[in-house]
């Protein structure tokens, strides 16, 4: 009896310790929605072929979702007269894109397997496909998330790292989500694709000293000291629509567009890893894929928590 009690206690302890992500599985919809991956890939292929930048926009949407109360599709909820969501928080207002692509995927998924697949899982798959379609590495996405019935504009304002962040702040904010400094550095490599608004890098190109002079001059041509806040510049000057390690090569050359980018290579703890990734594209792609799985495991709603939204923009 004593052995049985010990074994039961040990089993329960193991269950509680592992329960956070145990319900996520790469085969979660294998029987209930077997065409899910095909549908997501088809719509994402159309979207990226139409506008390559959309791969980066969907990836950013996933980041900003996961960093606010976990990967629960709360960022997709529209504001209403009685509901304040996250889309108008400072990091998102006027800059998040791709909601219509997620809507198109959801419509087709609902037509194939009604009331089965969460918007949170659709976003996770779409982010993966956006990277893959821009020549990044694919990965198996654990699934089984459910959708939040709530959102937090205040958390979005405080928990998403700002483009002005210092290295210590970045490490701390990622650590708060259960991600290591190494995870932070490799996930920042998502800035190998996409565009940034002038307002996010103006201070860097006019005030920072650890910046290549020619690069700063080039960026100033489209980002005046006043006005032009929405003017865009590629985060990766060389290959802004190809998922590769040029982002890290730019950092070594002091051509990081955002202050927070260049912080990764500024005589600090991440310099060696930046050099490694700058020299080894395959390792960057592999480490990025693994880190995306870890980020996708941030506080998922599973089991009977949350819901499966019929429309990603509003709760049922």
Q: Tell whether residue 271 is among the known ligand binding residues.
A: no
Dist CA 173 CA 190 (whole Å): 17
Q: Tell whether residue 147 is among the known ligand binding residues.
A: no
Q: Tell whether residue 161 is among the known ligand binding residues.
A: yes
Spatial CA neighbour of 91 closest among 265, 266, 260: 260
* CB-facing half-sphere around the CA of 190: CA atoms within 13 A: 26
Q: Tell whether residue 74 is among the known ligand binding residues.
A: yes
Q: Tell whether residue 183 is among the known ligand binding residues.
A: no
Q: Tell whether residue 65 is among the known ligand binding residues.
A: yes
Among candidate residues 64, 128, 255, 309, the one labeled active-site is 64
The DSSP-derived string for 218-285 is HHHTTS-SSS-TT-EEESSSS-TTS-STHHHHHHHTT--SSHHHHTTSSSSTTHHHHHHHHH-HHHHH
State the distance between the two ends of the chain, measured CA to CA, in whole angstroms: 49
Q: Tell whether residue 110 is among the known ligand binding residues.
A: no
Contacts of 55 (CB under 8 A, 6+ apart): 44, 48, 130, 131, 133, 134, 193, 194, 241, 243
Q: Tell whether residue 100 is among the known ligand binding residues.
A: no
**Does the active-site annotation cover 64?**
yes
Q: Tell whether residue 131 is among the known ligand binding residues.
A: no
Q: Tell whether residue 244 is among the known ligand binding residues.
A: yes
Q: Report the binding-site residues.
A: 65, 68, 70, 72, 74, 86, 161, 191-192, 236, 239, 244
Residue numbers belonging to the annotated binding site for heme b = 191
Give the catalytic positions in this structure. 64
């Amino acid at each position: 009896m004593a052995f049985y009690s010990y074994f039961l206690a040990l089993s329960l302890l193991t269950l509680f310790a592992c329960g956070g992500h145990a319900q996520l599985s790469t085969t979660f919809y294998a029987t209930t929605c077997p065409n899910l991956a095909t549908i997501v890939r088809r719509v994402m292929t159309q979207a990226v072929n139409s506008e390559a930048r959309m791969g980066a926009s969907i990836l950013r949407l996933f980041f900003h979702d996961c960093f606010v109360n976990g990967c629960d599709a709360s960022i997709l909820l529209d504001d209403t007269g009685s509901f304040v969501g996250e889309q108008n928080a400072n990091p998102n207002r006027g800059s998040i894109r791709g909601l219509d692509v997620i809507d198109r995927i959801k419509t087709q998924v609902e037509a194939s397997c009604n009331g089965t697949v969460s918007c949170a899982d659709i976003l996770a798959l779409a982010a993966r496909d956006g990277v893959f379609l821009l020549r990044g590495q694919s990965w198996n996405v654990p699934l089984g998330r459910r959708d939040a019935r709530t959102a937090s504009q205040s958390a979005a304002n405080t928990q998403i790292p700002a483009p002005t962040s210092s290295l210590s702040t970045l490490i701390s904010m990622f650590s708060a989500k259960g991600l290591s400094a190494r995870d932070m550095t490799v996930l920042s490599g998502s800035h190998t694709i996409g565009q940034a608004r002038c307002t996010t890098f103006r201070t860097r190109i006019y005030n920072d000293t650890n910046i290549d002079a020619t690069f700063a001059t080039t960026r100033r041509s489209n980002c005046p000291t006043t006005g032009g806040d929405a003017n865009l510049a590629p985060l990766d000057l060389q290959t802004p629509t190809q998922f590769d390690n040029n982002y890290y090569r730019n950092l070594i050359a002091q051509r990081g567009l955002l202050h927070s980018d260049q912080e990764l290579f500024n005589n600090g703890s991440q310099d060696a890893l930046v050099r490694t990734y700058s020299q080894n594209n395959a390792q960057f792609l592999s480490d990025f894929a693994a880190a995306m799985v870890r980020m996708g495991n941030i506080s998922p709603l599973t089991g009977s928590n949350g819901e499966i939204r019929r429309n990603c923009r509003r709760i049922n």
